[in-house]
Amino acid sequence: MSTEYVHRNVLAEPLSLPTRPVVLKSGVSYLEGAVLGRIKKAKGAVAATVGNTGNGAISGTSIGAKAEIGTYTLTCVEAVGNAGRFEVVTPSGQRLKDLTVAVAYETDHINLTVADGAQDFIVGDEITFVVEAGDDAGKYGLVDESAVDGKQDAELILAEDADATDDDVTSVAYAQGRINKRRCYVADGSDVDNHVETLAARGLILEEAAQT
C-alpha cells in the first residue's frame, strides 16, 4: 500500500506524493533522489543435453539486456566437420540468429561460445541456457545503463537517504509526482536525461528547478 510522503524534492502542490516500499541492494549508500531500477534476472546454468554426440565445451557465457527468464534452447540444425550450426530459441519462442560452433555468439539476449570438440555435433544435439531470477530479483539498485539485470530500466526515485553499504535495507521511493531533476542521480557513466521519458510514462515527471 502506498503512503503519503513529504520531501524537498517535490515540486508540485500539495507537497505530498504516493510512495512504495523498496528493498535496496547492498553495497551502496543511497541518497534521496537516486533513480532506481529493479533487479529482475541473473545468469543461470548452461549445459549440453545428455546423449549429445558432439562434446565441444561451452564458455564465455553471459546475458544481455533483453534476456528472458527461462530456458533458451539451442538445437543443432546443420552438422559440419569441426563446426556446425545451432538454431537459438528464446523462452518465449522467438528464434534468434543462429550460432556457429567455434565462433563467439553475441546478442542482446545471451552470449556464449560453443567450441568444437573431439566429436562433432550432429543434427538434433541440444544445449540449454537457463536464465534465472536469482536471489536479488525484486530488489532495487541505482540505475546503470551498462547493467543487464534490470537496473538499466528506471522505475522509481528514492525518497530518503538510505545506507545499504553492508546489508540490504528497506526504504521508500516515489512512484508518481513531479520531481526536481537537479536532485536526481544515476550510476557513474549513465545520464539522468536518458531516463526522463521512461519515468514520465510511469508518472514521475522530472522538472528543472533551482537547487535548494
Instruction: Give me the chain's average pLDDT, please.
Output: 91
Full set of structural domains in the chain with CATH: 3-40+136-207 (2.40.300.10), 42-132 (no CATH)
Task: Tell me the C-alpha to C-alpha distance, in Å, between residue 182 and each of 34, 192, 195.
Answer: 11, 9, 14
pLDDT digits (tens, 9 = 90+) for 27-56: 999 999 999 999 999 988 898 888 999 999
pLDDT category of residue 2 using cuts at 50, 70 and 90: very low
Distance in angstroms (rounded) separating the CA atoms of residues 71 and 131 = 6
Torsion of CA 51, 54, 57, 60, to 10 degrees: -100
Task: Summarize pLDDT for 161-177 with one digit per residue, the tens.
Answer: 999 999 999 999 999 98
How far separated are the first and last CA of the chain, in Å rounded?
A: 30
* pLDDT for residue 44: 83
Which residues have C-beta within 8 Å of that of residue 32, sequence separation ≥ 6? 7, 9, 158, 159, 160, 161, 183
Phi and psi at residue 193, to the nearest 5°? -60, -25
pLDDT confidence tier of residue 208, bands split at 50, 70 and 90? confident
Quote the pLDDT of residue 43.
Answer: 85
Dist CA 79 CA 54 (whole Å):
10
> Considering only 2-16, 31-45, 73-87, 187-201, which range has the smallest mean pLDDT?
2-16
The confidence score (pLDDT) of residue 47 equals 85
For residues 96-100, give the mean pLDDT: 98
The predicted structure's pLDDT at residue 48: 82
Q: Is 161 helix (H, G, I), strand (E, B) or coil?
A: coil
Pairwise pLDDT comparison (14 vs 82), residue with the higher score: 82
Chain segment 4-17, per-residue pLDDT in tens: 455 556 554 445 67
114 bridge partner residues:
58
Q: Where are the beta strands (DSSP E) in 101-185?
A: 105-106, 110-114, 126-132, 140-142, 154-158, 162-164, 169-174, 177-180
Q: How confident is the model at residue 211 (pLDDT cuts 50, 70, 90)?
A: low
